[in-house]
Amino acid sequence: MSNIKSLSFPLLLLLGLFCMSLACSGADKEPEEKIIVAYVTSWSDVIPDPSDFTHLNYAFGHVNESFDGIKIDNVERFKNMIKLKEKNPDLKVLLSIGGWGSGRFSEMAASDSLRKSFAKNCGQLIEEYKFDGIDIDWEYPTIGWAGISSDPEDTKNFTLLMADIREAINEDKLLTLASSATARYVDFNAVVPIVDFVNLMTYDMSDGMEHHSPLFSSSITPEMTSDKSVRLHREAGVPNEKMVLGIPFFGRGNHNKETYYKEYKDITLQPGQQEKWDSISKSPYIVDADGNFVIGFDNPRSVEIKCEYILDNNLKGAMFWDYNGDDSSKSLSKTIKKVLKGQKNF
C-alpha cells in the first residue's frame, strides 16, 4: 500500500497542476465584447448620445447617377454624426449605402470599371470625412422587389463589389452588410472572409397581420423568425461571431390590408385595445376589442430576451433600426446596453 501511495501522489500532483493551468487559461480568456449597432437616419433631427452604442450606421448614401461613386443624403448631418467621435473616441461611424428603393447597384457592380470607381470613392470619402467604414445595404441582389434594377449575376457581382471595396478602404477600416432575414441573395462563403460582420434584418418579416420580428415560431408568427434567420445564416456560412441580430424600434400592423408602421415611442393603446404577450415567440402585441391582431412590436421585455439570446448563441451583438424610434426614456436602447454591456453606461 505504501508503494502505491508513493507512486500515485506525484501523478495526482501533476494532474492537479494540469487542471489548474487549464482553469487559469480559461479564466484569463475574456469573452469578446458585444457590439451595438445603431442606424441613424439622414431625415431625423435627433442628436444621439454616443454612449448608447458602439457603432453608428448613417442612413443613407446611394450609388450616384453616373454609377461610379456615392451620393450622401444630408451631408451636414453626416458630418455631425462623425463629430460624435469627439465625445466617444471608441465610437465607430459607418456610412450605410443603399436602403429600400435605393438602386443602381446592379448596373454599377456589373461593370469592372464602374465597380472599381465606386469602391475607390468609398476610400476617398473615408479619407475626406474621417469615418470608420462602409455598410452595404443592397436590397437585394437578383431581386427587384424594392423597385430597383436586378440581374441574375448580381450575387456574383456583389462578391466582386465587396472585394473591391475591401481593397480600396484597406484592412483597418470596417466593411459590413445588411442581410435579408432569409440569408438569400449573397454568397456568404465568399463574402464572410471579406467583411467584419453581417447585420441581420430580422424585422419586417410579416405583412403586419402577425408578429413581424418574433424570436421563435408560434401560431401568430410568419414562417420566418429571428432564430430561424440565425440558423439560415449559419447554414449559409456566417459564423455566430460575425452575426449581429437586428431589433426593430418600430411596430408593424395592418389596416384594411394595408401595412403600416409606428415607431415604438408612438405605440399607445386605443379605446378597447389590450396589450398581449406571446409566450412562445417572446413577442408583445396589441389586439382590438374583438381579439384581432392590431400591431406587433418589441418592448423592453422582448428586447431583453433577444439580447440574452445573443449572449447564449455567442453572436457578435445587436443592431437596431432606428435610433429615433425609441421613447424619451430610451427604454429599448438602455435594455440592450444593460444586457450586452452589463451596465447602464459604457
The confidence score (pLDDT) of residue 343 equals: 52
Q: How confident is the model at residue 14 (pLDDT cuts 50, 70, 90)?
A: very low
pLDDT tens profile 24-34: 344 444 568 99
pLDDT at 9 over 80: no
Instruction: Round to whole Å and give the CA distance between 4 and 250.
Output: 70
Say what the pLDDT of residue 285 is: 98
* pLDDT score, position 138: 98
Q: Is the pLDDT of residue 273 over 80?
A: yes
Question: What pLDDT digit, counting tens, does each position of 306-345 carry?
Answer: 999 999 999 999 999 999 999 999 999 999 999 999 854 4
**Do the Cβ atoms of 221 and 202 come closer than 8 Å?**
no
Q: What is the rounded CA–CA span in Å between residue 262 and residue 201? A: 17
Planar angle of CA 255, 261, 263, nearest 5 degrees: 140
Identify whether the C-beta of residue 41 lies closer than 8 Å to the C-beta of residue 29: no
* Cα(90)–Cα(346) distance, integer angstroms: 10
Residue 23 confidence (pLDDT) above 70: no
What's the rounded Cα separation, in Å, for the pair 320 and 343? Answer: 19
**pLDDT value at residue 32:** 80
Q: Tell me what pLDDT residue 31 has.
A: 61
pLDDT tops 80 at residue 16: no
What would you measure as the largest C-alpha separation in the chain, in angstroms? 89
Could you tell me if 286 and 295 are in contact, meaning their C-beta atoms sit under 8 angstroms apart? yes
Q: Whole-prediction pTM value?
A: 0.90
Q: How many other CB atoms are there within 10 angstroms of residue 79's CB atom? A: 14
Min mean pLDDT across 178-182, 198-202, 236-240, 256-260 is at 256-260
So what's the pLDDT on residue 12?
Answer: 37
- The Cα 346–Cα 342 span in angstroms is 9
pLDDT-based confidence at residue 8 (cuts at 50, 70, 90): very low
Residue 313's identity, in one-letter code, is N
Q: What is the pLDDT of residue 303?
A: 98
Mean pLDDT of 161-187: 97
Query: 317 in the Ramachandran plot: left (φ > 0), alpha (ψ -120 to 50) or beta?
Result: left
From 144, 309, 292, select the one nearest 215 (Cα to Cα): 309
